[in-house]
Structure 1
Amino acid sequence: MSGGMLYGGDEIGALVFDPGHHSLRVGYAQEDTPKAEIPAVVGVAPDESPKLEPEAKPEEGNISSHPTTYKYYIDTTYLHSPRPNMEVHNYMKDGMIENWDMFEKIMDYSYEKIIQSESQFHPVLFSESPWNQRQKREKLTEIMFEKYKVPAFFLVKNAALAAFANGRATALVIDSGATHTTAVPVLDGYVISNAVVKSPLGGDYLVLRARELLESMGIDLTPAALIASKEVVREKDKPRYVKKS
């Protein structure tokens, strides 16, 4: 869709957000491809940076004067760097936004690092799954208007967008994502919700089965980033290495 269809002007700079369980696609409505694809997970680790000593001693009974604070790691470069005690959380569940705090971290990163512009200057188009719940739609709308102050906001089914992108207002859209595969009928631009067929088989399941197959064949899949050192071995011998502690 063009920016003119969204907000009455060809040069308005409307943004498109396409969230999924594997990644979030972000870009401008006038462009053919997303500006960035951000993993839909956030790394959370304790903040071990040095802290200033308090001026006054804590009162008796207070266990710690320094409550634990956390740092958040977003995007591929930061997530693929091993960090002690880091946990990875996905803000999506069953194709819908579940963890709103993590989602807002992703949105803050998108505006600051990807778009590099103030949110109030850009109308927004957001895609959603055909079975998205009303309270989640209302929550997302509230966040976009109240926190990000967007001038206009449009929420539309991703299957309808896929049909329009291929020049069709009526189509059967087959969508195979990370966690599920769906068949969604679209009639004159509207999704027929009660006819949606959904399967829990997706890319994550296929990757898991492929991993099990390779491991059953004796193939070591330890990532290179977790190897501290390795030894030279003969061809077809099992690898010998030391993992990072």
Structure 2
Amino acid sequence: MANPPPAAIYGGDEISALVVNPGSSWTRFGYAGEDTPKAVIPSYYGKVGDDIFVGDNDLHSPRPGMEILSPMSDGCVDDWDHTVKIWDYALSKRLYSDPKEHPLLITERSWNPAKARERTAEVAFEEMGVPAFYLAKESVCSAFACGKPTALVVDVGSAVASVTPVIDGLVLKKATFHSNIAGDHISAHINALFKSEGITVTPHFMISKKVPVEPGQPAQVTLKSFEGLTSSFIEFEKERVLNEFKESTSGVLEFPYNEVVAHTRPGRPFEFPDGYNLSFGAERYSTTEALFQPQAYPIPETTADATAQGIAELISLSVNACDVDARANLVNNIVLIGGTSLLQGFTERINTELSQAFPGMKIRIQAPGNASERKYSGWIGGSILASLGTFHQMWVGKKEYEEVGAVIVEKRCK
């Protein structure tokens, strides 16, 4: 086996490593040792014929025939050809860096298959030309960012919710569970609510001029005219509005949904891009209940998935799949991350559900109060890890890759 790259080149302060944290909706890029990513880019691309468009500005610019597509599947990179284009844009146009001059740390989901891991190494060395590379488990990085070698990492993002036990810095795969009952699922419920209330969601790009109106009054708006827009582009733009509603208005009750109680809670106003505005009361809680009771709260006009599991159920499954001796330590070190976990009342609801599931055990949830720390914890942990002087011996060097091949990730990136 080749000697590890020297610290003077691939570790320490002389040359900062690049850290990339791919997610279903957003991918974070930056330099090791920094507190936050330098660039956060949508994990989507636009396609018109052979032309590819990436980055916020190009993705949100209406173009005839442009389809919006995702290279991600089940939280993992599925389409590397277009992923490389997104990453190249971020590294060259946003970080102004050349990957050939920096070691590269990429985070991955705990369930990323072996073939996909090997493909990541091939892309890093052969297409991006990096001098050194490491593939780190995102859950381990998130635990590391919170200063915990042992933790139960509960990550609730846009497309995927996952529960991963990390014990002494290693992922316990047999007790890792994930589900698609996450942020996008809630957006579908919110969209169904708007349809049932007769509320039209008009994307931002279509607004030419609007006039302020009283709550509940019809919008007075002038719309722009476009031709040839695809349904995927329009849905992509509508999703922005649903996310705005979710982030600013939605909440979670600290106990199972009760309509009477929900009506006693103060409502929150929301103004749509066209100027229409309304105060939402119980609805802002009912649309999020599917996170915890997906079978009881299916998306309207769809069939309930009999195998769907709520967040608390995933946590219980994960803890009970671990050794008995480890369970108390895990529920005492729960790390709650992901953008969807920022919903008001989410942490309290998790605490309530787990107190019932594990009576007699001390439940302790660490949920970073800073939204950036919650959303970017995987990147932050990777940034800390790759900046450590002691980490330089972990890098897989280009010569080592050339000698052993892509299977090196299975030996070195545990």
Map Cα deviations across residues 9-35 of structure 1 (whole Å, 9 max, x no partner).
Answer: 223211100001111000111100010
* Structure 2 residue matching 1:211: 3-state secondary structure: helix
Instruction: Give yes or no for contact 1:16–1:27 (8 Å, CA) kept in 2.
Output: yes
Alignment of 1:129 onto 2:109: yes
Change (3 A) 1:151 1:232: closer
1:139 and 2:139 correspond? no
Q: Distance in 1 between matches of 2:150 and 2:132?
A: 27
Give a deviation string over 1:32-90, Cα, whole Å, max 9, x none.
Answer: 001011000001114xxxxxxxxxxxxxxxxxxxxxxx222111111111111000110
Moved more, 234-243 or 97-106: 234-243
Corresponding residue pairs, total: 219
Structure with more of its chain in helix, by fraction: 2
Task: Name the counterpart of 1:44.
Answer: 47
String of CA shifts for 1:100-129, please: whole Å, max 9, x gaps: 111111121122112212211110110000
Does 2:129 align with 1:149? yes
Which position in structure 1 is the counterpart of 2:154? Answer: 174
Aligned 1:40-189 pairs, distance under 5 A: 40-46=43-49, 70-189=50-169
Structure-to-structure mapping, 1:5-16, within 5 angstroms: 7-16=10-19
Letter paired with 1:237: P
Offset, 1:178: 1.1
Instruction: Give the corresponding residue for 1:23.
Output: 26
Task: Determine if the alignment matches structure 1 residue 209 to structure 2 residue 176.
Answer: no
Indicate the structure with greater strand content.
1
What secondary structure sits across from 1:162 in the alignment?
helix
CA distance in 2 between partners of 1:143 and 1:12 (Å) = 21
Aligned residue type for 2:25 = H
- Taking structure 1 as the reference length, the TM-score comes to 0.82
1:55 corresponds to which residue? none
Aligned position for 1:237 = 218
Report percent identity of matched pairs: 41
**Contact 1:6/1:14 (CA < 8 Å) preserved in 2?**
no
* In structure 1, C-alpha distance between the alignment counterparts of 2:58 and 2:131, rounded to whole Å: 32
State how far apart, in whole Å, the 2-side matches of 1:119 and 1:232 are. 49
Higher relative contact order (CA 8 A, sep 6+): 2
Aligned partners of 1:183, 1:196: CA distance in 2, in Å? 6
3-state DSSP of counterpart to 2:61? coil
Moved segments of 4+, more than 6 Å = 229-235
Gap change, CA 1:201 and 1:5, over 3 Å in 2: farther
Give, in whole Å, the separation in 2 of the partners of 1:194 and 1:213: 38
Cα distance, 1:242 vs structure 2? 4.7
Question: Partner amino acid for 1:33?
Answer: T
Between stretches 208-217 and 185-194, larger displacement belongs to 208-217
Unmatched segments (≥5 aa) in structure 1: 47-69
Q: In the aligned structure 2, how far is the partner of 1:108 from the partner of 1:126?
A: 14
Q: C-alpha root-mean-square deviation of aligned residues, in Å?
A: 2.3
Deviation at 1:230, TM superposition (A): 6.8
Equivalent residue, structure 2, for 1:52: none
Q: In the alignment, which residue of structure 2 is the partner of 1:67?
A: none
Is the 1:169–1:189 Cα contact (8 Å) retained in structure 2?
A: yes
Tell me the residue number matched to 1:197. 177
TM-score by length of 2: 0.50
User: Aligned partners of 1:10, 1:174: CA distance in 2, in Å?
Assistant: 32
After TM superposition, give the deviation of residue 219 of structure 1 in Å: 2.3
Residue 34 of structure 1 corresponds to which residue in structure 2?
37
